[in-house]
Structure 1
Amino acid sequence: MALLLVSFEHVTVRHLNRVLFPDLSLRVEPGRHLALVGPSGAGKSALLAALAGQLLLTGGAATYPGLAAAAHQRHPADPLASWRQVVSLVGPRAPFRARPGGSELYYQQRFEATAAEVPTVREYLAATPPAPGVAWTYARVVARLRLEQLQDQPLIQLSNGETKRLRLAKALLRNPLLLLLDNPLAGLDAASRVNFGALLAEVAAAGATVVLATAPAEIPALITHVVELAGGKIRHLRPAADYVPPAPPTPSLPNEAALRALWPPAPPAFTTLVKLENVTVRYGERLILDKLNWEIKPGERWALLGPNGAGKSTVLSLLNGDNPQAYSQKITLFDRRRGTGESIWAIKRRIGYASPELLQYFPGQPTCLQVVASGFADTLGPGRPTPTQLAEARQWLAVLHLAEHAAQPLRQAPASVQRLCLVARALVKNPPLLLLDEPGQGLDAAQQPYFRAVLDVICALSPVALVYVSHHAADIPGSVTRVLELPFNPAPPTRDLAQPPR
């Protein structure tokens, strides 16, 4: 009989001074693939981290017989061989580091990176040589995760979906016996999501057991058992065939009076918010945008669509003043041509921006309240908000049902709370233009419709223009009526949602 991979018997899981699971019992058996489901804050990410050995376990008994045996079998001459060597965790945050001294990368390097500063995809993967005689080789993970054309690309210039594929490739290079995945489908385009189920089947065929945190509606076919979590406890563990996803909760409605007070009606201050004329962007030999034309007027609400790597985040960086290639392009922002003397900060004052990449490089020490208030000055840190600004930031937290997290450090909050805090940071200054890159990623079944309703009320109350990026049609708010769809190369068409493409 195969050994248990992991056995937790009545353990307490802690992080710093917090108890995350007061009495956790769980067994992970070979070939018993688990999906962790539950509302935001239920403990899905914490359970994955506990299984990976990243959290403190006290009391009870935690043993790893199958993992330890496999580690010693692979490394028989190493007296320090550990069960951790056969476990891979792909968590919510990419642990990328720059070359010199191994320091952390920062957000602006995404647009300023050079080969001397930032490792390439090839270097990142080569740092994890595969074990001899195992299934997942460098050539196989590069081909299977569609990374061939990205091998010489600096890590920080990858799209959100490309980063997801890269981190999964690195995890597979360890040839894990236990693969832990935190919300693996978030940020992947439709083609990658379809491919994911087949990839998991290959992972299992190579001998790995999979445990993943996911939405109830996105449980892969490989999964054999579903673990339902709530409030730091395992409520149910049942065969996947017996699991019935809960009915969506009745959406709550935002407080329109509170939103009207936070975003008082005002006439448009500009005629043209955005105008791109034949904009072309390259990184080395890689063509990202090819002669893109696009115009955004006040009150227009756009969905920006396209596969991973099509250039959606690049377009937003041109609008948000982050990308230096904007100066060599014909771009008008807020009735003024770029490069005619306006500062980046003057542009940013008029834009509310949130994205997975911004969250990735946002400092984790500030509290959720400080993060929201930092939107007034567009700082990546606590800044020095006034008492009035802090009061308004608290009101936005309340509107988004995040008031209880105000004093919590950003990185200790649930992933969905972190994302909504960055959205509140984008909203707090009432900008004429909102750029929201996959803002609904990782939100649970109650948070998703409520968040869309908040955006729809704001759009109804004001002439704010909205650019909304998503790989899921169901995530897009009802107030969005226009689409810009980016393919990989040809100039993209624009169309109204009410009009079918020709």
Structure 2
Amino acid sequence: MKESFVSIQDLTLTHQHKSVLKDLNWTINTGEQYVLFGESGSGKTSLAKIISGQLCAIGELKVNFDNNSHLPAEVLFVESWYQFKNLEGVANFYYQQRYTSQQAKDTLTVHAELVSYGKEKGLHLDQVEPILEALNFASFASSQLIELSSGEHKKLQLVKALWLKPQLLIIDQPYTGLDAASRKNLNLLLDEVSEDGVQLILISNDTELPTSINRFAEIKDGKIGMSHAKAATSVSVEKDLKEIPDFLKESPLYSSEEIVKMVDVNISYGEKQVLKKINWVVKAGEKWLLQGHNGSGKSTLLSLVNGDHPQSYANELYLFGNRRGSGESIWDIKQHIGLISPEFHWYFDASATVWQSIASGFYDTVGLFQQLPYSKSQQVDELVDYFGLTGNKNELLTSLPLGKQRLVLLARTIIKNPELLILDEPCQGLDQQQTQHFNQLVDELCSNGMTLIYVGHFESQLPTCIEKRILLEKGEVKVVESLNTQTRHCEARSNLV
């Protein structure tokens, strides 16, 4: 009888006195290509870390590598977030550093990172070129790691994994931050490596998968069970929302009718021009969708709006009625804004509790460093209750499942009832039900007249309140348009970006 490729018996994992995996059993045979799914916090990532040797657990685990295979006898786990380091080996960055070119020189370029990885793994550089082209990543060779967006970091992880071609490749949320074209090409690349003998475990709730996927497994109540493909898709169900807190029913106090005004804005890094003659006006109360392929300039555009980009002073940029550089500080600007972005989430204070994380939104800090007056403490308590986080309020933010972490950050962004809410791919990594619930909350919270800029690739995964769209392509404005129900429906079917 042929030995199974992966054998797991009676695997048990407890985290912070909570049972995550309970006597889990799983057998993976040669040639089986899996999608692993389950609710947020069910233990998917923990199981992947156990299989790859990054996490210890009680039980028996055996990976039977093929000694006759030309592929490396290795389990490679691609995490949902890539933790890079600077040239001195330090990984402690703050998210504004991405836009400061002088500090960006502290990190390797993409090319240097690939050269280092190839040398470490004994790989040839010429073999990585087709992968870079397929994922539209070749043009980023000279970019510093700290300059990359979340989607671009994901591509770098995937490039290295597909280049290595280990015998077992586990990818956590493979499509996170990728545009439609990149997702399609990634599936083709995954099919290619599977034909070459790589076995896949994709941790994903997505429905557009490689054709090589032939098995589906679900973690539920700490155990794993086999499933049919149809069961891997979440059923769309709207949740009943609690009544919104009174202090958020009032319209924000607007300081200007124009929230953002850009006139022929240009941003360059050396010879590389990232934004070219951007003209854009966002008026109070408008709900905008910002779209574009990976590398189109979306994150840089938002960094101007959020006050983080140093080149804003060299451009004609007006925020909340004042020209940038007229004497206001970055903190003056942030008082008007509530923000969620993948980078901000990554660099958030790991020592903050749920309550502290929400309260920090009053002061635009990444943790709470002062005591709140009674009135503000009451508002935090109201939001904790509104978002269903009462049982978690004293827990560390980082200890929560991803879906709840995003709810905490949403609560943090709206605690001061800001004039402008910037949500940069806020549902990245969430499943269908979590995304729908999150956007349902956004619709409710923005009903008081709050201005919204929302970044999302899929038209079918957006708040219904979106009314206008700006599309970037290679740093230029390609489309500015008003959206109606019919337009949204057509674009939802095309999913162009």
Question: Hey, what does 1:102 align to over in structure 2?
Answer: 90
Distance 1:34 1:298, change over 3 A: same
Question: Hey, what does 1:224 align to over in structure 2?
Answer: 214
Contact 1:273 1:298 in 2 (8 A): yes
Question: Hey, what does 1:33 align to over in structure 2?
Answer: 33
- For 2:152 and 2:234, the matched residues in 1 are separated by 32
Give the match's secondary structure for 2:443.
Answer: helix
- For 1:152 and 1:30, the matched residues in 2 are separated by 39
Identity, in percent, stands at 35
Give the match's secondary structure for 1:109.
Answer: helix
Contact 2:248 2:445 in 1 (8 A): no
Contact 2:265 2:315 in 1 (8 A): yes
Is 1:203 the counterpart of 2:193? The answer is yes
Contact 2:80 2:154 in 1 (8 A): no
Q: How many pairs were matched up?
A: 484
Residues 150-299 of structure 1 correspond to what in structure 2 (within 5 A)?
150-215=140-205, 217-234=207-224, 236-238=225-227, 240=229, 243-245=230-232, 248-255=235-242, 257-266=243-252, 268-299=254-285
Question: Hey, what does 2:417 align to over in structure 1?
Answer: 430
Contact 2:162 2:189 in 1 (8 A): no
Shift of 1:322: 0.6
Contact 1:122 1:152 in 2 (8 A): yes
Contact 1:275 1:332 in 2 (8 A): yes
Give the match's secondary structure for 2:263.
Answer: strand
- For 2:71 and 2:478, the matched residues in 1 are separated by 51
Residues 52-201 of structure 1 correspond to what in structure 2 (within 5 A)?
52-58=52-58, 60-66=59-65, 69=67, 86-114=74-102, 116-129=105-118, 131-132=121-122, 137-201=127-191
Shift of 1:103: 3.9
Question: Hey, what does 1:493 align to over in structure 2?
Answer: 479
Distance 1:88 1:379, change over 3 A: same
Contact 2:244 2:445 in 1 (8 A): no
Shift of 1:74: 7.6
Shift of 1:373: 1.6
Question: Hey, what does 1:78 align to over in structure 2?
Answer: none
Structure 1 consecutive aligned stretches of length 4 or more whose deviation exceeds 6 Å: 133-136
- For 1:74 and 1:265, the matched residues in 2 are separated by 60
Is 1:48 the counterpart of 2:48? The answer is yes
- For 2:360 and 2:11, the matched residues in 1 are separated by 39
Question: Hey, what does 1:463 align to over in structure 2?
Answer: 449
Distance 1:294 1:447, change over 3 A: same
Distance 1:473 1:103, change over 3 A: closer
- For 1:195 and 1:422, the matched residues in 2 are separated by 32
Contact 2:101 2:269 in 1 (8 A): no
- For 2:316 and 2:136, the matched residues in 1 are separated by 33
Shift of 1:194: 1.6
- For 2:105 and 2:183, the matched residues in 1 are separated by 34
- For 2:284 and 2:389, the matched residues in 1 are separated by 29
Give the match's secondary structure for 1:187.
Answer: coil
Residue among 374, 385, 391 paired with 1:398: 385
Contact 1:136 1:172 in 2 (8 A): no
Give the match's secondary structure for 1:167.
Answer: helix
- For 2:325 and 2:110, the matched residues in 1 are separated by 33
Is 1:12 the counterpart of 2:12? The answer is yes
Distance 1:264 1:95, change over 3 A: same
TM-score (ref. length: structure 1): 0.89
Shift of 1:287: 1.7
Q: What one-letter code is carried by the residue in structure 1 that aligns with 2:28? A: V
- For 2:438 and 2:357, the matched residues in 1 are separated by 18
Between 344-353 and 414-423, report the one with greater CA deviation: 414-423
Question: Hey, what does 1:451 align to over in structure 2?
Answer: 438
The Cα offsets for residues 47-76 of structure 1, whole Å up to 9 and x where unpaired, read as 212221222111x32222227x479x889x
Distance 1:134 1:5, change over 3 A: farther
Distance 1:174 1:2, change over 3 A: farther
Shift of 1:112: 1.3
Contact 2:296 2:473 in 1 (8 A): yes
The Cα offsets for residues 56-105 of structure 1, whole Å up to 9 and x where unpaired, read as 111x32222227x479x889xxxxxxx6xx12111122111111243433
Contact 2:470 2:477 in 1 (8 A): no
Q: What one-letter code is carried by the residue in structure 1 that aligns with 2:240? A: L
Contact 2:187 2:209 in 1 (8 A): no
